[in-house]
Structures are given as C-alpha cells and as structure tokens.
Chains A and B, each alone.
Chain A
Amino acid sequence: MKISVIITLKKDVLDPQGKVIHQALDGMGFKDVNEVRQGKYFEINTKETNPKKAKDKVEEMCKKLLANLVIENYKIIDAQ
C-alpha cells in the first residue's frame, strides 16, 4: 500500500527558499503570485494492507522523524 505525506512549514516560520522562488517567478513574468512556500513530499510503500493501520503508522513516522513539529506540519494523503 502506498501512502503519501506532504510536509509544509508552519505559517509563522520564515521560508527564505520560498521567497527566492517567488522572486524568480516574478522576474519570469508570473506577476500574480501572492506567496510561495516550499515543502517536502514522501511516498511510503508499506506491507500493511489495512488502510487505517497503515495511516496510523505513517502518522507515527511523521511525528517521530519525517516532520519537526516545532516548525512543520504534515498531511497524510489517503492510502491507495
């Protein structure tokens, strides 16, 4: 079973990379961008076949390793 996770920086955490990407987009002519925030995306392929159990395990992974909860939020995208 494949589960995806998206990690994003919390709202009040400065994202200098996102800012620079925004500036670059602006310079390329994409003038209507309000903000860019950069994040991380994971695809986890697990042996677990029960979607609920798999999701719980991935949530534990997020809390223990994949995200640093001081600065990041995680979002688990449902099992496929």
Chain B
Amino acid sequence: MKSAVITFPGSNCDRDMDVALKKFGFKNKMVWHQDIELPKSDLVVLPGGFSYGDYLRCGSMASKSKIMQSVINFANSGGMVMGICNGFQILVETGLVPGVLLRNKYLEFICKNVFVKISDKDNAYFKNIKNNVLELHIAHNEGNYFCTNDQLKEIEDNAQIAINYCNNQGKIEKSFNPNGSIKNIAGIFNKEKNVLGMMPHPERMIDPSLSGEDGSLFFKNLINNIK
C-alpha cells in the first residue's frame, strides 16, 4: 500500500506521520508542496503543523500551493485524502470538506489527550474498527469547527460526521468539548467519504512510550481496509 505525505513550509507533523505510516506497512513517500504531480498513492496525507505560519487564515495559503491541484484532482477522482489538524484546516480551505475551523472558543492553544467517538463506520477509514471510542491527542489553536445551518443539515443527512469529542464512555456532551466546535465535531468526511479531515493526531499515539496506542488501532485498521 502506497501513501504520500505532503510537506508544506511550516508542517511539523509530516515526519511523525511518515514514521506512523511506515510502522503499519505503508510504503510512504514525502512530497514537497512545490511538486506538481503526486506519486502513485492509495492514500494522501496532509499533515499537522503551521503551514505558511498560519498567515491569512490557517491552511488558506497551503490550500493554494502547487501540489494541491493534484491532491484535489486525486480526491475528486475518489482517492483517499486524510488531513490531520492543520491538514484538516487546509482541506476546509480547498472546499473538499465543508465548513471552517475557527479559533478555539476560550482563545487557548489546547494540547492534551481527548476521547473521540467514531460516529460513522460506513467508510474506508473506520470500517471494521472494533473500538467505538479512541483516546487521541489534540494540539491546536483553531479547531473550533463551524458551518452554516444549511451545511450542518446536509452533513447530518449524509452521515458525514466522522468523530465527535466525548468522554471515555463515548458520551457526547458539551462538557467534553475542548474547543467549542458545533455538535462536538472533531472530524468530518466529504459526501463520498473518501476525504477525511480531523483535528486529533493518531500519529502521536502509536507507541507505548508515547501517551497511548489508540492511534495504532486506527492505522492497523486503515491499512487492512485499503489492502
């Protein structure tokens, strides 16, 4: 299984993602943002970080960089594209997934472990995963998911919500929402569910020496689904 991770100026989770993908069996290639063509891939990842220093709006400059036209074409032809954290911000700026990510409600940079409930398993990312709740890491200043009421209705009607912030029992409540996002949304799909954007970092939870291994469950399941 082949994957590609795009590096933008200011990306800082690209190498972590490379390590994670390789650990679970992907043949990964790093791709520079000024490249024009993507290598042949089963999965393209937009990593976390602070692309272009978060200038203008987080992800807005990266969404216009050279490689992104290939990524958009790849996604529109059904290819799997996953954006983590800043990668999610880039995805919303391209319009591949609906909505925007606003500044966190209490204006704090949040860096901690959270629980997320997998809200939809009818997709290539979470199909067959045994757990309903994962403990993952978040680290962001702009993770407050927002969309218009019309968009929200469409997202709910199409079951595009991927994961919601919850407690360790999977209970989705406002008190478990770290950043003020609508409906505790932590990650969403496009309509066809081949594009996934999410704030939590599964690549940070892939080793016992880190603070957990629920990311391993995600990646093991992911590569099995793609095979």
Interface residues of A (CB under 8 A from B): 13-14, 16-17, 20, 65-66, 68, 70-71
Contacts and interface: CB of A to CB of B under 8 A. Distances in A.
B99 A66 contact: no
A70 B100 contact: yes
A65 B64 contact: yes
30 contacts: A13-B102, A13-B146, A14-B102, A14-B105, A14-B144, A14-B146, A14-B180, A16-B103, A16-B105, A16-B106, A16-B107, A17-B103, A17-B107, A65-B56, A65-B60, A65-B64, A66-B56, A68-B57, A68-B60, A68-B93, A68-B100, A70-B99, A70-B100, A70-B146, A70-B147, A70-B148, A70-B151, A71-B100, A71-B102, A71-B146
Nearest to B148: A70
Interface of B is mostly: loop
A66 B60 CA distance: 9
**Which of the four size classes fits the interface of chain B?**
10 to 19
Interface of B: 56-57, 60, 64, 93, 99-100, 102-107, 144, 146-148, 151, 180
Contacts of B106: 16
B64 to A, nearest CB: 7
Contacts of B107: 16-17, 20
A70 B151 CA distance: 10
B184 to A, nearest CB: 16
Contacts of B57: 68
